[in-house]
Structure 1
Amino acid sequence: MTCKFNSEIVKAFASLPQLGLVQIKAIHVFLRLFGSIRKEREPCYLQPQLVGSSDLSEAEEAEIDTIKKHRMALLEDIQKLKEEIAQVFAEIDCFQSTEESKMVQRDKDLCMGRKKFNMDPTKGIQYLTEHKVLSSDLREIARFLYKGEGLNKTAIGDYLGERDPANLQILQAFVECHPFANLNLVQALRQFLWSFRLPGEAQKIDRMMEAFANWYCQCNPGVFQSTDTCYVLSFSVIMLNTSLHNPNVKDKPPFERFVAMNRGINNGGDLPEELLRNLFESIKNEPFSIPEDDGNDLTHTFFNPSREGWLLKLGGRVKTWKRRWFILTDNCLYYFEYTTDKEPLGIIPLENLSVRKVDDPKKPNCFELFNPNCKGQKIKACKTDGDGKVVEGKHQSYKISAATMEERDLWIEAIRTSITQDPFYDLVSARKKKIASKN
């Protein structure tokens, strides 16, 4: 019975979390207790006829005294063991309380680290590693980004696109988290482009799509003759998705145009038409799902603007000049009342717009945003009215004044660059030239 009970004790303690020395000590105390009891039960017992008799020999009386001493020693030992057991359980309670406190603190550090990452990815990762939420192992960091719980996917994309050697290794490990084996190219792209948002910079896009193409070809050997083929076709598919599903694109490309776009990219040869048709139909029937970050927090959007500064904007029912803080980023012009504001007063998408110098009798150094193709029509824009509601803008053009002529010219140059920038076409063109030069 005792051996069975001892084994049950061991099982009970083994089912607890790993307690190290505390666990071992507790088991040891229990085994000592029941071992002592078993040991003290082994000495010889009085013969029944002698119990309660007053006619005992000296040897029998000595035996009784010995038993009494053993009994007293056993009781003392049991009391000591009880005290030790109480101490062990107190240590276990303290250990569990400490572990719970550590878990609470870790959750707090994780929450703060996510917030810092969404504001500044590099500082966020630094915070998480310094507070032991993440180790410095780059693969662990990559898995954290791949899971993406609570992380801004735009921030993930910006971080993965950095040129720093550590970031490049994290990018590679991040891409390798994706199980691309036995997936066609569109299926792999759907999975890949959902795990982050592609940044706007051409060099970052190039590094990320290069890593994607390499990993896809490793997972699916023999599908393409080179990673360059996979790279170019991936961009073609992304651009096809935009052309087919962007409502602003009126001329929807037919399958024949998609085939023509990709002639000669397979080491100088053409890809099988069946493969291209499957990709085309997949995109046509189901567009890519691009992750949308929380629209209520635009803070991250304004971290790396192409340009920012104070300008005067002509507007209002009664045309007046008002000083506004402007930020140019992601092919949009945002303006705020104060530099500390998180929400803009207005947003002007630059798609289909042009910019030019203009003269104004009341203000020097002016430039104007206008739509060259739709004169007299309102520019698509939005702003907040006096009640804080978002309403559609009513401008046919936007007239803006800079403090100096030099500043005006810098703004015009930055806006033109933003309007004309389309890194996808430039990257595909460069890679096609590379393929052609090999043949």
Structure 2
Amino acid sequence: MTLVEQSASLTVNNTSSNSTGQFTEDENQTLMLLRTNKEKLLIEIQQIKKEITEVTSRINELQSEVDRHTEPKVLDAIELFNQGLFTDCFERLVNVQILTDADSPVEKANFLASNVTLINLEKFHKYLYKPGNQDVMREFLCSVPIEGLTLLDSVRKCFTSLMFNEAESDVITRIYKFISQSYFRQNPEEAEKVFGTEDACEFAAGAIVFINTSINNSKVKEKMTEEDFANYGQCREVKEMTPNERGIPRDYLISVYRELKRNPLQLTSNYNINKSVLKQGNLYKEGGQYRTWKKRFFVLHSDFLYYYVHADDEKPKGIIVLANLEVRPTSDSSRKFCFELVSRESRDKLPQVIKATKATDGGTHVKGKHSRYIMSASSDEERDEWIMAIKDTLKVDMVYALLQWREQNKLNQQQQAATASF
């Protein structure tokens, strides 16, 4: 019984326990009104319960429908991209109405940013570094959130987002240029105060990478000093880039130099770009073919669950797409504290294969074949923490789902009324 029901029942029951002879006529009328309101309230409560049940059911149907139609189309397009069929990839996305314009740099950049962890790194760089796709690279870098960051941290984040490893000098020059444009877009006041122009900001981005190499690369014998770097921003060429030939402030460049000595810029690829880590830690995972248990390092993001052979590995051993999955406790005769991931579509049907990829011995990723992933934690508490963390990523937009359900329900009622009128 709900709190509202208990309250109504208690009010009426307490009132009923007194003889009606103890009340005046007005009080007896109030008593009758309370009883009537209780009956109406209970009817409304039952109606709300029914609506909640229907809404929940409709939410599950909507989510399943979206996942069933969208995810395979995205994965098919990614497979085309990973084969180097870039034009076919974006045309496919337009045909299935995921993109509206196959030539839009913004849409292409957003697609790459959203799915970068499933995209072949070599093909990713081959596409973005091509001169004809520099507009896509610009939009990709401008989509990296750097608001409120220093230029140094912006350079750090943008190179990480590109999963940068190495590139030709003209590509690196374009990267500096686009970082500068993005910095002026997202931090206009700070950019204007420190640099004044995008040209000066572009120069500073390049200088950051240059001085980082000078300070931290053991192969560089003659290292630039802090004083030399501070003077760099006051040379004639830099002054000509800035308003009133003011140059770049010495204090700013000194702070950059000291920060790079303390925390060097790592220009290496990083698989987990632009993804906030929701939870990470070691779990044992049951194998699919031989059912053996192996220790893996798991990293949970909002859309994917990654697992690595070792915590410091650069690339994941496998990636599990969390869309349309359920997570729940389970038991196993050989391990304690287990939980499993299964497809929601497997409830009343044959087991459905979970969307996932796994690295082969050669390093390439192939589609997974699991219909069930079982992991084992070290305790009940740790298992429950993983289950709750994963469940939080599987939540649906309740407002959107409710509006969709009401719209469909309204349409159904109109159709029924039209049918009844004939």
Question: Could you state the TM-score of these two structures normalised by the residue count of structure 1?
Answer: 0.43
TM-score normalised by structure 2 residue count: 0.44
